[in-house]
Amino acid sequence: MPAYRTLAANDAVEYARRHAGLENPATLVSAEEVGDGNLNLVFKILDAAGISRIIVKQALPYVRCVGESWPLTLDRARIEAETLLEHSRFCPQHTVKIVHHDAAMAVMIQEDLSDHHIWRRELIKGVHYPQASRQLGEYLAQTLFHTSDFFQHPHEKKSAVVRFTNPEMCQITEDLFFSDPYRIHERNAYDAALETDAASLRLDSELKRKVAALKHRFLTKAEALLHGDIHSGSVFVAEGRLKAIDAEFGYYGPIGFDIGTAIGNLLLNYCGLPGLTGLRAAAAAREQRLTDIRELWQAFCEGFLALAAQKTRDESLAEPGYASSFLREVWQDAVGYCGTELIRRVVGLAHVADLDSISNAAMRLQCQRSAIELGRMLILAAGRIDDIGALTARIRQYS
Amino acid sequence: MPAYRTLAANDAVEYARRHAGLENPATLVSAEEVGDGNLNLVFKILDAAGISRIIVKQALPYVRCVGESWPLTLDRARIEAETLLEHSRFCPQHTVKIVHHDAAMAVMIQEDLSDHHIWRRELIKGVHYPQASRQLGEYLAQTLFHTSDFFQHPHEKKSAVVRFTNPEMCQITEDLFFSDPYRIHERNAYDAALETDAASLRLDSELKRKVAALKHRFLTKAEALLHGDIHSGSVFVAEGRLKAIDAEFGYYGPIGFDIGTAIGNLLLNYCGLPGLTGLRAAAAAREQRLTDIRELWQAFCEGFLALAAQKTRDESLAEPGYASSFLREVWQDAVGYCGTELIRRVVGLAHVADLDSISNAAMRLQCQRSAIELGRMLILAAGRIDDIGALTARIRQYS
């Protein structure tokens, strides 16, 4: 295996020619670096007509948006590729296809999705994909069921837990979701006008105990191979289609974390809508977001329960009624994790365009405050929000 | 490293001479095999006066009580030694001292505890060690706190989870605690007169859902490096002293499992007492067992909370009040696991002398039935038994 070196554009073309498995590799002639994330180089590999044919993605040994002062393991590239391959086994229709990967080079080659769009951008623009929320629910049901103890043999699952041990990436989540927003930290970034709101988080001991419990479960509960970062920017959509990408945070964690992240990003959009569009359009779009959330959760639940009824291998977990009672716990976790996602996207390091792209400053602050308050309410009340109907009712109360 | 071979008595002497680190190894002259467990060879290594100086313990590649038809990983010897060494770092006073271990030979050398007695035998004989329950609670507090996310750095903890991944031994627990007692299985062993009682377990769907949840938490909740088998037969006592031994089931699991196993074995003794002693003596001894259980739990709680207040390294988990709320979850887990221990020791493969040694058959059955019914109640009501006082009240109701 070659040692690690960073790919330049021409290297990426050469790499794709050799490893992409295309019939006519010589048609690949140039590369365009499109990585807009924080962690990686991403090249579109183009043919002579300028059409992107395949994607080469390489992990950098540091956090790109911060620089070489924040080093980060290259092993995340292996974990990302292996997570996506594992998820593809169970949900190929909604997982980006990995054609090749190389742990030493921290590179993977994946299908080109240029005919898709990042879901977050579409949500911000107000373009509706009527199947997307259900498809994301289906992705979560398939991937999380099949990598859980319902389906995996305990030996297979334990060795998978070892293979997907991902300490450095998990620490980013541990810090950014659960620690930083509730303390003074240089990584936090928010408008000075939000200082009172941020300070109120740091002073809310009941809130911090609930967040500690969520963090503790993130640290201990190895329920399934999570995507680990399934926000609306990790999801590509096209008409009738949806693909999850960017799984470098993959590890065995609490199922509710993936659900809460997915729902949380729809709620971040909900919070931003009054600033992203006119008030009347916002009201309708907000109702649509609540519908999206309900569809996502229902698709997940129905999918998971159908799989549990048909395919549970563990004789104890197959007891009729157990899967439903387990999903009630997942739901409560999900509501809490959703709340932490809302808060950390306003006061923490990594923000979302659903809020930050609002041009009117006063409106932006109002939307950001509503995200903080909604997040706080969800964390505090998670144990009393029994189902999706109760969640919707609570959200309407708060906004 | 030498390859694995089973030690004969003279090999064990030679091994001890070479590796025990004694000042005068030549004084070791003979060995007595005393293994009465199910899994290992255990040699006392004697001097010329016939005094045991040191213990050599070797894992066999199969379950000893069943035979070579049930093979079992030798890696358990490494895990046992490393678990005990880890526990010794934090609670040397109550962990057997490991002098040497060798993974390839699946051997360890440990201190001789001939001046101690197995706690279970003493409980059966009615010999009371007034400090034992508190000492066991202290052992559990020290070992479980220091190997939890309260104290371990997340990177260190994740690599420890990998190192203590123990699939074959965990599967024994998964099967014997949570599956077999609730299904027809050839490993189960109970008096034919208990058939109705055993059948009622298999038909109790609510009970089986609760047991499924306990099994699922055993499979997923990596809270701390458990002893994994801390029943009263894994505990040596002497006046004012207590030592835990036999940690081959060590792995990162739910803290409540160790607590529930420890309490469960005191309750098994409680259930057996009317058959082990006269009725009047039994009533007093039962009160003592309830006191023991309270002392064990309180010592654990007070120890854990004191450590949490002084030594928690995770800033989020250090939030005042969080450790207490976490211990409420541990308590509910412990009550449930305690219930599974009571049941599996009556209808499953591995029994306890507290019940099986009762010579009067009718009395033995009555005591066994009371263990089943108490176990069932604890599993079903775990979520509503809020504290040690409520537990004691419930137990008194049931017996």
Residues 6+ apart with CB under 8 A from A100: A19, A20, A21, A108, A109
Percent of chain A exceeding pLDDT 70 equals: 98
Q: Could you tell me if B94 and B130 lie in one domain?
A: no
Per-residue pLDDT at B353 exceeds 70: yes
Among B82, B111, B140, the domain boundary falls at B111
> Is A266 found in the same domain as A390?
yes
Please check the confidence at residue B323 and state whether its pLDDT lies above 60: yes
Closest partner CB to B219 (pick from A149, A178, A320)? A149
Residue B1 scores a pLDDT above 60: no
Q: Determine whether the interchain pair B212/A149 forms a contact, defined as Cβ–Cβ distance below 8 Å.
A: no
A283-335 residue pLDDT tens: 999 999 999 999 999 999 999 999 999 999 999 999 999 999 999 999 999 99
User: According to the model, what pLDDT value does residue B37 have?
Assistant: 64
Mean of all residue pLDDT scores within chain A: 96
Chain B hits for A216, Cβ within 8 Å:
149, 316-317, 326
Residue B346 has pLDDT above 90, yes or no: yes
Same domain, B92 and B180: no
> Is B313 labelled as part of a ligand binding site?
no
Q: What pLDDT is stored for residue A68 in this prediction?
A: 75
Q: What mean pLDDT is predicted for residues A113-117?
A: 97
A230 occurs within a structural domain: yes
Residue of A208, A319, A326 lying closest to B319 (CB–CB): A208
Same domain, yes or no: A127 and A91? no
Residues from B in contact with A at Cβ < 8 Å? 149, 154-155, 157-159, 161-162, 165, 167-168, 170-171, 174, 178-179, 182-183, 205, 208-209, 211-213, 215-216, 219-223, 314-317, 319-322, 325-326
Structure tokens at B64: 């000893």
Q: Which CATH number do you get for residue B151?
A: 3.90.1200.10
Nearest to B167 by CA among B212, B245, B219, B125: B219
Q: Which domain holds residue A40?
A: 9-111
Cβ atoms A79, A252 nearer than 8 A:
no
pLDDT the model gives residue B62: 83
- In a shared domain, residues B159 and B94: no
Of the three residues B94, B111, B128, the one that is the final residue of a domain is B111
Handedness of CA A282, A284, A290, A296 (dihedral sign): negative
Its sign, for the CA torsion A33, A34, A40, A44, is negative
Residue B1 lies in a domain: no
Distance from C-alpha of A2 to C-alpha of A130, rounded to nearest angstrom: 45
Are residues A169 and A81 part of one domain? no
Q: What is the mean pLDDT of residues B288-295?
A: 98
Say how many domains are in chain A. Answer: 2
CA distances (Å), origin B299, targets B120, B142, B148, B287, B295: 20, 10, 18, 18, 6
**Quick one: B186 and B324 in the same domain?**
yes
The mean per-residue pLDDT over the stretch A263-282 comes to: 95
Which residues of chain A are within 8 Å of residue B79 when distances are taken between CB atoms? none
Q: Smallest Cβ distance to A220: which of B213, B221, B322?
A: B221
A150 and A80 within one domain: no
Q: Which two tokens stand for residue B205?
A: 């769907």
Residue of A154, A182, A219 lying closest to B219 (CB–CB): A154
> Furthest-apart CA pair in chain B: how many Å?
62
Residue A259's closest CA among A322, A177, A341, A174?
A: A341
pLDDT at B36: 73
The chain A residue lying nearest B251, using CA atoms, is A158
Alpha carbon A353 to chain centroid, angstroms: 15
pLDDT attached to residue A2: 61
Please say which residue of B111, B145, B177 terminates a domain: B111
> What is the pLDDT confidence band of residue B2, given thresholds at 50, 70 and 90?
low
Using a CB–CB cut-off of 8 Å, the residues of A that contact B are 149, 154-155, 157-159, 161-162, 165, 167-168, 170-171, 174, 178-179, 182-183, 205, 208-209, 211-213, 215-216, 219-223, 314-317, 319-322, 325-326
Could you tell me if B300 and B363 lie in one domain? yes
B127 and B101 inside one domain: no
In a domain, B3, yes or no: no
Query: Can you give the length of chain B in residues?
Result: 399
Question: Are the beta carbons of A158 and B179 separated by less than 8 Å?
Answer: no
Say if residue A193's pLDDT is above 80.
yes
The model's pLDDT over B191-239, given as tens digits with 9 standing for 90+, comes to: 999 999 999 999 999 999 999 999 999 999 999 999 999 999 999 999 9
On whether residue B139 sits in a domain, the answer given is yes
Question: Has residue B2 been placed in a domain?
Answer: no
Residues A246, A364 within the same domain:
yes
> Distance, in angstroms, between A314 CA and closest chain B CA?
9
Q: Distance between CA B215 and CA B212 in Å, rounded?
A: 5
Which chain B residues have a beta carbon less than 8 Å from that of A208?
A: 316, 319, 322
Tens digits of per-residue pLDDT, B29-42? 999 999 876 689 99
Chosen from A149, A155, A158 to mutate, greatest number of chain B CBs within 10 A: A158
Q: What is the CATH number of the domain that holds B21?
A: 3.30.200.20
pLDDT on residue A279: 83
pLDDT at B70: 80
**B110-124 pLDDT per residue, tens:** 999 999 999 999 999
* Whether residue B371 sits in one domain with residue B308: yes
Tell me whether residues A205 and B319 touch, CB distance under 8 A: yes
Q: What pLDDT is recorded for position B168? A: 96
Whether residue B125 is contained in a domain is answered as yes
pLDDT tens for each residue of B76-103: 999 999 999 999 999 999 999 999 999 9
Residue B68 has pLDDT above 80, yes or no: no
CB atoms A154 and B167 under 8 Å: yes
Rounded CA separation A83/A76 (Å): 10
Say whether A246 counts as a known binding-site residue.
Answer: yes
Which stretches of chain B are assigned E, i.e. beta strand?
28-33, 40-47, 52-59, 62-63, 67-71, 98-102, 107-111, 117-118, 224-226, 235-238, 241-244, 251-253
Note whether A158 contacts B165, CB cutoff 8 Å. Answer: yes
User: Rounded distance, CA A113 to CA A96, Å?
Assistant: 8
ipTM of the complex: 0.96
